[in-house]
Amino acid sequence: MTNKNGRFGIHGGQYIPETLMNAVIELEKAYDFYKNDPAFNRELTDLFNEYAGRPSRLYYAEKLTKALGGAKIYLKREDLNHTGSHKINNVLGQALLAKKMGKTRLIAETGAGQHGVATATAASLMNMECVVFMGEEDTKRQALNVYRMKLLGAEVIPVTSGTATLKDAVSEAMREWTSRIDDTHYCLGSVMGPHPFPTIVRDFQAVISREIKYQILEKEGRLPDAVIACVGGGSNAIGSFYNFIEDKNVRLIGCEAAGRGIDTFETAATINTGRLGIFHGMKSYFCQDEYGQIAPVYSISAGLDYPGIGPEHANLHDMGRAEYVPVTDTEAVEAFEFLSRTEGIIPAIESAHAIAHAMKIAPEMDKDKIIVITVSGRGDKDCAAIARYRGENIYE
Ligand SMILES: *Cc1c(COP(=O)(O)O)cnc(C)c1O
């Protein structure tokens, strides 16, 4: 789907300083070679299966289906992966690639800490150094993940510039990479940034839809009517969509974090409220103020709290191939609680955005229709924040 210059329609590309060009070209060349190397792919499959616990289950959520009274609902259980989310798929791929390239050090950005923990995990496994950049604000909100990263042997650097959140951590990691490219690989956490990152991350996450496809054919003998996933940068969503893009009868639905609502300034719904722009090395849609500056974004979910969206999603939106819908904090929290009670599965608050949208559309659909929802991660990390949202303090 990517053309030669890393474009998805008008989106994507490489809007980077000259000093980063060599690193990006080196990465592109290495990836072009290893993606077709049988030994590399065998090693990666082994890591996926033996270490991360793939394939993840495609679970028929019978109680959720009955409670909603419409379409049959399956959950793609990325929450069961080692480290608790889909992030490990991409990280194992990039760490292995970096190792093959002779790199000895991984750097990464992280928001909620899931990607940082996954990167620290892969670095520990592959005996590499690891440095994680994290907005200072986020280090406070996600202290447990900071501890986990340190426990795994990583160094965590709090970023104090800007709003001291995810976007600033990305900027800082890019700056660090520019200054040290010979031994360091920048392990980017979503389908964003300059080419070839959106393609590399998508390819490693596409295992999700490869599995959904054969699993649903095994269970139902046909493709689903809709695939639903939450969208921050968009990696679990593109991973869930990718192998269905050519199957025009499968609706692809990305759920953006609307925060307190898309008519407020406290939102992170990029497609629904953003405009075309260039940031972090790519052309795509971004939340911007009236002067075209990147706007501060807000969501209850730290993992969806990013002012942009990956360029492939921006293009799927332009082509009308995928739909992007806003889901508010309130709706996500209700879905978080509802799935916990109906199925005994506590989803990540990010994933709860996808559940919430399914709760809106499933009841309207016939009982012979099939929906697959990707549960991108597990919700243990979110319990304290949701309790706080409900006015409880579980650490009293
Ligand atoms: C990071 C994260 C997300 C958001 O990232 P995408 O690249 O949009 O997938 C969603 N869910 C979980 C559990 C995450 O950790």
71-96 pLDDT per residue, tens = 999 999 999 999 999 999 999 999 99
Ligand 1 close to Cβ of residue 303 (< 6 A):
yes
16-20, 37-41, 102-106, 229-233: the lowest-pLDDT one: 16-20
- In sequence order, the 6+-apart residues with CB closer than 8 A to the CB of 14 are 5, 6, 21, 24, 194, 195, 281
pLDDT (average), residues 157-175: 94
In this predicted structure, the answer to whether residue 244 has a pLDDT above a threshold of 80 is yes
Which one of the listed residues 87, 103, 283, 381 is annotated catalytic? 87
Q: Between 231 and 143, name the one with better pLDDT.
A: 231
Measured CA to CA, the distance from residue 160 to residue 206 in angstroms comes to 34
Measured CA to CA, the distance from residue 104 to residue 181 in angstroms comes to 11
pLDDT score at 56 = 98
pLDDT score at 256 = 98
Return the domain boundaries, the chain. Answer: 8-48+86-201, 55-84+206-389
* Active-site residue flag, 376: yes
- Decide: 312 and 198 in contact? Cβ < 8 Å: yes
Q: Residue 396: which pLDDT band, with cuts at 50, 70 and 90?
A: low
Ligand 1 close to Cβ of residue 232 (< 6 A):
yes
* Active-site residue flag, 56: no
The conformation of residue 79, written as its DSSP 8-state character, comes to G
Give residue 18 CA to ligand 1 midpoint distance, Å.
Answer: 30
Ligand 1 close to Cβ of residue 314 (< 6 A):
no
Ligand 1 close to Cβ of residue 119 (< 6 A):
no
Give residue 235 CA to ligand 1 midpoint distance, Å.
Answer: 7
At 194, which amino acid appears?
P
Which one of the listed residues 56, 85, 209, 376 is annotated catalytic? 376
Mean pLDDT (the chain) is 96
Tokens 């599995």: give the residue. 211
Pick the CATH number of 8-48+86-201 from 3.30.2290.10, 3.40.50.1100, 3.40.50.450, 3.40.50.1400: 3.40.50.1100
pLDDT in tens, 49-77: 999 999 999 999 999 999 999 999 999 99
Give residue 307 CA to ligand 1 midpoint distance, Å.
Answer: 14
Give residue 198 CA to ligand 1 midpoint distance, Å.
Answer: 14
Q: Per CATH, is 55-84+206-389 categorized as 3.40.50.1370?
A: no
pLDDT in tens, 249-269: 999 999 999 999 999 999 999
- Fold matches, 8-48+86-201 and 55-84+206-389: yes
Q: Residue 141: which pLDDT band, with cuts at 50, 70 and 90?
A: confident
* Active-site residue flag, 109: yes
Q: Residue 1: which pLDDT band, with cuts at 50, 70 and 90?
A: low
pLDDT in tens, 303-316: 898 999 999 999 99
Q: Residue 327: which pLDDT band, with cuts at 50, 70 and 90?
A: very high
Work out the angle at residue 216's Cα, subtended by the Cα atoms of residues 245 and 310, and round it to the nearest 5 degrees: 30
